[in-house]
Amino acid sequence: MSKKEIGNYTIERELDQGGFSKVYLARHNVIGENVAIKRIRKENYEKDKIIREVKLMQSLDHPFTVQFFEFMEDDNYYYIVMEYVRGTTLLDLVNHSGKIPEWKIRHIFVELISTLQYLHEDLKMAHRDIKLENIIFDTYGNIRLIDFGLGNTFQQTDGILQTACGSPAYAPPEMFLRRPYTNAADIWSAGCVIYALATNTLPFDETNAKLLASKIVYQNPTYPEELKPSLVELISNCLNKDSSMRPLPQDIYKYEWVSVYPNSQLFSPEFGIAEGWRNPTGNPLVDETVVEELNHYGLDSSKAVDDYLNGNFTADAAGYRILKRQKVTFQMERLYEEADISMKATIHRKQHLSLTPNVLTPIRRPSPNTRNKFSFGKAMNPVTGVSKFSATVKLSNRMNSMKPKILALSQLPAQSPQ
């Protein structure tokens, strides 16, 4: 498929692949910017499912969520065109960076919670697959949350969801118990992420699916002595077995460990609006500098703006969205630089995502064939600018090597929660 054209894009190379789809690096033929194109074979994917995923992605408008650009199809394939994120995943960071500085962990976590606050409050959406693999750094050290294939809205369900899904090592107890759950499941998963960043392992470490479920339902994680009590307090509350006792995103900012983050603008539910990095919900605004760029490239800026304002994801509007995301990504560079108050004002870009030699045994990535009704990780990263993992990679926390299946309550060992 090298150099094949799809719509206004030329395929450059394959980035990743799974059982039913492949992801390609492509280039916009006029603008010249890179995008990621996810190609899905029609015969292997229900149309209702792909349309649902596309609609969820189209609703996203936040600096830290992957940007959707365009949807196309031909006789054999569906194509999802989206932002190409050039950085590394958090899984790579944990596996290759040794001990991660506390300020960087805090920076990642605050941006993740800002994203969840937007999803939960503005969109009434649960992501349902928060994990290290689904969080990627951009060029400047800020995150993108990707893979909304399991996302779901809950406007019509009073906040209650039923389908058990996600990756087992990040799944909350209520899913293993087959109980209805809320978006508090995302907070549990976020707790697993910050635990992994702080300790280089996941809170529940077990290769056997049944034992993993038992640990998650009945046991509490252990915390290394070197972790600050304020961080342990935060993690333990996110990992509360009682979902109703987990903090809401807006409450997390009040925790001592989080509150020292130097850029408090991220604590606001309206973060990014004043800066022009996102629109007020339901009220798209036009960036005139982007319109000028469209004109510079000889594109139909009038048609692009009309389609954009009407919420249409046409080829013309894709040009506007690509240029706008490029501008936002560049402007957000300062967020990373400001995250550590001890850092100098100017940091060379290449230092942002530098990886030190691996000094710890890495966390495993799920096998490509481990996704079922309880979706234990997709067979591919839908947006990736990182090197592919070998299926035989050595793994430390042994969290996802099994071919897991969801366990009913009757399959769990009979014991009382601790």
Domain range 90-270+334-411, CATH architecture: Orthogonal Bundle (1.10)
> Based on C-alpha coordinates, what's the Rg of the chain?
21
Q: Is 225 exposed, middle or buried (CB count within 10 Å of its CB: 0-12, 13-18, 19+)?
A: exposed
Query: Which tokens is 206 given?
Result: 């077990």
Give ∠ CA 52-58-60 in degrees, rounded to 5. Answer: 115
5-83 topology per CATH: Phosphorylase Kinase; domain 1 (3.30.200)
**Could you tell me the pTM of the whole model?**
0.81
Domain range summary for the chain, segments of one domain joined by +: 5-83, 90-270+334-411
Assess whether the region 5-83 and the region 90-270+334-411 belong to the same CATH fold. Answer: no
Active-site entry in 129, 138, 147, 307: 129
pLDDT in tens, the chain (418 residues): 447 999 999 999 999 887 778 999 999 999 999 999 999 999 878 888 888 889 999 999 999 999 999 999 999 999 999 999 999 999 999 998 889 999 999 999 999 999 999 999 998 988 888 999 999 999 999 999 998 766 555 554 444 434 444 588 999 999 888 887 788 999 999 999 999 999 999 999 888 888 999 999 999 999 999 999 999 999 999 999 999 999 999 999 999 999 999 999 999 999 999 999 999 988 899 999 999 999 999 999 999 999 999 999 999 999 999 999 999 999 999 999 899 865 544 444 444 444 433 333 344 444 444 433 333 333 334 344 333 322 222 233 333 333 233 333 334 443 333 3
Residue 129 annotated as catalytic: yes
